[in-house]
Structure 1
Amino acid sequence: MPAPPEPAQSIRGCLDRLNQQWRQDGSMAALWQDWPKLAGPSLADHCRPLTLRQGVLSVGASHPQWRQALLYSKLQLLAAIRAAGHPVRDLRILQHHTARRSDPGDPLDEWNRHPSRTDVHGMATCPRCGSPAPTGEMAYWGHCSFCRSADLGAEAARGTDQ
C-alpha cells in the first residue's frame, strides 16, 4: 500500500516557503521584490535590475539622466542592497530603453485617422505619377503610397550596393 499523501497546505504557506527559498538562493526574484525599497520610489520608477551574474548586478536606466542619478548614488545603492542580504559585489549601470507598450486605444480610431482613407480624407492627384490617390497620403508623404513604396525600394537598393 502506498504511503499516505502529505496533508494539503495553504497557498499562503507555499508562497511563504517560496519567498524564503528566493532569499536563501540570492535570486533575481528577491531583488525584484525588494527593488522599490532598495532604490527608493524615484529611482525604482525609472531604473530596474536586469541581470545578476557572478555577484555583479546590472541595473538599467530608462534615460541618460536616470543613468547619471544611478551612477551618483551607486555606493549608497550597493550598500542598501548588501544590507538587505543580497549577494551583490558590484553594480553595473546601463542605459536600458524599456519598451513599455502604450495603450494602442481603439483600433477603429486608428483606422479613422489612417492616411489612406478616401472616405475620410478625399481624393487628389499624385504630383509625381499623376495617379488618383487619397489626400491623406499626399499630406503625409507628399505623394501617393505607390511612389512612397518605390522610394523605399530605391533606398533599400542603394543601401545594399554600398
Structure 2
Amino acid sequence: MSFNSVNDILGVLQLQAKLQEQPFQRLLKCWPEVVGKVIAAHTRPLSIQRDVLRVATSSAAWAQNLTFERRRLLVKLNTVLPTPLVDIRFSTAEWYAAKETNNQPQTLLPRYHPSYLGEEINRHHDVESTAKSANAAFENWAEAMQERSHHLPLCPECQCPTPGGELQRWGVCSLCAAKGFSNNF
C-alpha cells in the first residue's frame, strides 16, 4: 500500500474538479481574458447549444463586427475549452433581457407604499391587543382612504370615489368597467 502526500491528493482533486467543470462555466470565467476587456464590455455569453456559442451584444454593429471575427475567436476559445466549439452566433436579441435578469428587484420601503399611513402599529403577542391593534389599524386606514377620496369624483353607477382618468376612459370606475367587460363575453 502506497501513501500519497497531501499535495498529490489535492492536485488530483483539483484536476478532477477542472475536468468536471461545465464548458459554459469555464467559458464565462475566461471570456474577458480571451476576447479582451473592450469586447467583453459589449458582449455577454448566453449559452452553448450543440457546440455553438450564443452571445448577446450591446448593438447590431458589435454583432456584425464580431461575426467577421468569429473564426479568430473560435481558435482562441477552443484552446481553453475542453470540448471545441463549432461556431459563434452574435445577436442583440437578449442583451437587455439578460441584463434585466441580473439586477436584483428593488425593495420598496414601507413609507413609500401607497397604503402607508405614517403610524407604526404596536405589535403585541397576546390575542386581545393584536385584535385591537388590527382593528385600530383598519380604522386608521379607512379614515385615511376616506380623506384621500374626498376630492375624487363619484362613479355614476356605484357612487364610489373614482380617479378622473378612469371616468374619462370608461365613463365609470374600473370595477364597474370590468363588470361591463365580463358581461360582454
2:174 maps to what in 1? Answer: 148
Between the aligned partners of 1:5 and 1:126, the Cα distance in structure 2 is 87
1:31 maps to what in 2? Answer: 27
Answer whether contact 2:55 2:90 (CA < 8 A) is retained: yes
TM-score by length of 1: 0.58
1:89 maps to what in 2? Answer: 86
What SS is found at the alignment partner of 1:73?
helix
Paired letter, 2:161: P
Between the aligned partners of 2:3 and 2:34, the Cα distance in structure 1 is 41
2:17 maps to what in 1? Answer: 18
Answer whether contact 1:78 1:88 (CA < 8 A) is retained: no
The alpha-carbon deviation at position 72 of structure 1 amounts to: 1.4
Which stretches in structure 1 are left out of the alignment for 5+ residues?
Answer: none
> Which of 43, 46, 53 is matched with 1:50 structurally?
46
Relative to structure 1, is the Cα distance of residues 22 and 40 closer, same or farther in structure 2, using a 3 angstrom cutoff? farther
The alpha-carbon deviation at position 57 of structure 1 amounts to: 0.8
Which stretches in structure 2 are left out of the alignment for 5+ residues?
Answer: 118-140
What CA RMSD, in Å, does the superposition of the two structures yield over aligned residues? Answer: 4.3
Q: Report how many residues are paired.
A: 142
1:132 maps to what in 2? Answer: 161
Between the aligned partners of 1:40 and 1:148, the Cα distance in structure 2 is 54
Between the aligned partners of 2:38 and 2:183, the Cα distance in structure 1 is 47
Between the aligned partners of 1:58 and 1:150, the Cα distance in structure 2 is 49
Paired letter, 1:18: A
Q: State whether structure 2 residue 118 is matched by structure 1 residue 122.
A: no
Between the aligned partners of 2:42 and 2:181, the Cα distance in structure 1 is 37
> Which of 95, 107, 110 is matched with 1:108 structurally?
110
Paired letter, 1:69: W
The alpha-carbon deviation at position 79 of structure 1 amounts to: 1.4
Answer whether contact 1:39 1:77 (CA < 8 A) is retained: no
TM-score by length of 2: 0.53
* Structure showing greater Rg: 2
Relative to structure 1, is the Cα distance of residues 78 and 109 closer, same or farther in structure 2, using a 3 angstrom cutoff? farther
Answer whether contact 1:28 1:52 (CA < 8 A) is retained: yes
